[in-house]
Amino acid sequence: MKTGLTKLVGGEDKMDSKYYATWEEYLAEHPELEGKPEHAISPKIQKYEDAMFVFIMDLLL
């Protein structure tokens, strides 16, 4: 899975991580969610994706 993180710094995709996904990337890997209420699912999935990212990074700060 690739991520959109590096769009913040000029659009280059340097993260390219197996361990972080944007909602769009997650959705592409989970077709069972097609047709489900995206407005309710997407913020929740993204929230825990980001929470794990912050937890991991905090371990190294």
Q: Which is nearer to other proteins, 34 or 58 (CB)?
A: 58
**Which positions from 22 through 61 interact with other proteins, judged by CB under 8 A?**
51-61
* Residue 29 DSSP SS3: helix
Place of tokens 């913020």: 43
For residue 17, give every residue at least 6 positions away whose Cβ sits within 8 Å of its Cβ, in sequence order, or none.
1, 3
Q: Give the span between the Cα atoms of 39 and 10, in whole angstroms.
A: 28
Which of these segments, 14-22, 25-33, 35-43, binds other proteins (CB under 8 A)? 14-22
Give the shortest CB-9-to-other proteins separation in angstroms.
6
Contacts with other proteins, residue ranges (CB under 8 A):
5-6, 8-9, 14-20, 51-61
